[in-house]
Amino acid sequence: MPIKTIIEPFRIKSIEPIRRTTRDERQQILEAAHYNVFLIDSRDILIDLLTDSGTGAMSTEQWAALMRGDESYAGSPSFGRFRDSVQSVFGFKHVIPTHQGRAAERILFSTVCKPGDVVPNNSHFDTTRANIEFVGAEALDLPIPEAAEFSRPHPFKGNMDVTKLKDTIERLGKSRVPLVMLTVTNNAGGGQPVSLANIREVKAVCKHHDIPLYIDACRFAENAYFIKQREENYSNKTPREIAREIFSLADGCTMSAKKDGLANIGGFLCTNNDVLAQQERDLLILTEGFPTYGGLAGRDLDAIAVGLNEVLDEDYLHYRIVSTAYLGEHIAREGVPIVQPPGGHAIYIDARAFLPHIPPLEFPGVALAAELYLEGGIRSVEIGTLMFAKRDENGLEVEGPMDLLRLAVPRRVYTQSHIDYVVEVILEVWRRRESIRGLALTYQAPFLRHFTARFKRKHA
Ligand code: F0G
């Protein structure tokens, strides 16, 4: 019989202790953090599933590459290795390094967008949306309708609604749509993949109207692996071949190397357009740095150069996708409502369905995050009414389109026994869900309020 157990395809060379706390300590810590897990110190967290961004473990080859890092201000060989590695996977003519994904976004949107423009995407991530809005343009989400049916599986829930895209461009005219974006995998929509068939269709619409297509590439390798598993005619292709095909359909990309770059910091912006690249490099020098380092140390460039190759390893991707699904399946089979199917980098609990007695304006996602911390020292993040911060025409708070709780799994960090512990904690909270109360805001910042918001518990 073939062995079925999926193991972590690495052994551990360096360990980082994590600290247990008592329930009483956690109660006090939670109150001091005003029920916002962003405000808890990481030393007080046992398992940190806040994000998969910059939280991964580097390999021995990446640590070795750090030592090769050349810190020359201009023309560093580290940049050469970085550029070659990016080009071998992504294939774009111009590679502009940035300190992380949002810096690439800011440079791109401030170069191509003007007030009144509209940028369609399957779903914008919060920093992408914020950077588009910051230049006076509109960030428009066009996911397929199936994406809103959390409990119903669909192989490519990250797809864009192509009919809506066509209608939008026809309604607005090409001059108001400077670019179309596709986020692979779709983070705000449950870590769900986009199919190559969908990317091709979106590209055809863009080509017809002569509008560039950009990929938000943060989790491109995970998306490529889903395509290999789920899309017809791709099972025999390697993740690298699939990634090449994805990017061959695009005119540029933004990337946070903190995700599928397997690095702790870094990002880049790519384009095939010479004029645009020049403008972007000029802006880069203003705020990020010279075009051969873009706000990164030479050693960071080298770590990313290696990470972009390691992330396409099939053993790694298989373990990555299967281990995230393991968490989702073990809680879903006990009845916990999650976005189905499990995403690549995270499991998303439907907090409204988990806590139906807490109305969206009492932040069920935030309340659930607080409860997972209290029960087991686990940190997660709300993607819902707090993060979306919607208001009606009178300026009154309205509920977000959804209230999800994301459990993002850092890459190569936690073992199966850590995940078994997480499952046990979630199921314990599930058992006593009816006793969980909602929250009321006591402080909020004018934008990106989820990072610093404060709450108090509603009385029973
Ligand atoms: N695009 C997507 C789809 C993302 O998920 C992120 C970051 C970014 C862009 C911005 O990249 O953080 O390097 O500036 N997502 C992290 C998360 C923060 O937790 O999902 P960045």
For residue 97, what pLDDT band results from cuts at 50, 70 and 90?
A: very high
pLDDT at 188: 83
Helices (H) and strands (E) in the chain, counts: 16, 16
Q: Measured from the CB, is residue 186 less than 6 Å from ligand 1?
A: no
On the question of pLDDT at 412 being above 80, the answer is yes
CA of 186 to the centre of ligand 1 (A): 11
Q: Measured from the CB, is residue 53 less than 6 Å from ligand 1?
A: yes
CA of 122 to the centre of ligand 1 (A): 15
Q: What is the pLDDT of residues 3-62, one digit of tens each?
A: 888 889 999 999 999 999 999 999 999 999 999 999 999 999 999 999 999 999 999 999
Q: What is the pLDDT of residues 280-294, one digit of tens each?
A: 999 999 999 999 999
pLDDT at 238: 98
- Look at ligand 1, atom 16, and give the residue with the nearest C-alpha: 53
* Alpha-carbon separation of residue 452 from 33, 39, 127 (angstroms): 10, 7, 15
pLDDT at 29: 98
For residue 315, what pLDDT band results from cuts at 50, 70 and 90?
A: very high
* Averaged pLDDT, 96-100: 98
On the question of pLDDT at 189 being above 90, the answer is no
CA of 24 to the centre of ligand 1 (A): 33
* Averaged pLDDT, 79-106: 98
Mean per-residue pLDDT over the chain, rounded: 96
Q: Measured from the CB, is residue 216 less than 6 Å from ligand 1?
A: yes
Q: Measured from the CB, is residue 62 less than 6 Å from ligand 1?
A: no
pLDDT at 324: 96
Size of the chain in residues? 460
Residues 6+ apart with CB under 8 A from 60: 13
- Look at ligand 1, atom 19, and give the residue with the nearest C-alpha: 51
| Closest of 441, 444, 443, 434 to residue 457, by C-alpha | 441
CA of 323 to the centre of ligand 1 (A): 21
For residue 460, what pLDDT band results from cuts at 50, 70 and 90?
A: low
Output b/e per residue, 233-264; b: 16+ Cβ within 10 A.
ebeebebbebbbbbbebbbbbbbbbbbbbbbb
CA of 216 to the centre of ligand 1 (A): 9
On the question of pLDDT at 459 being above 80, the answer is no
Check: CB of residue 98 under 8 Å from CB of residue 288: yes
The DSSP call for residue 87 is: H
* Averaged pLDDT, 317-321: 96
CA-to-CA distance for 215 and 122, rounded, in angstroms? 10
CA of 127 to the centre of ligand 1 (A): 7
CA of 191 to the centre of ligand 1 (A): 12
On the question of pLDDT at 364 being above 70, the answer is yes
- Look at ligand 1, atom 12, and give the residue with the nearest C-alpha: 101
Q: What is the pLDDT of residues 197-255, one digit of tens each?
A: 999 999 999 999 999 999 999 999 999 999 999 999 999 999 999 999 999 999 999 99
- Look at ligand 1, atom 21, and give the residue with the nearest C-alpha: 101
Q: Measured from the CB, is residue 126 less than 6 Å from ligand 1?
A: no
Q: Measured from the CB, is residue 187 less than 6 Å from ligand 1?
A: yes
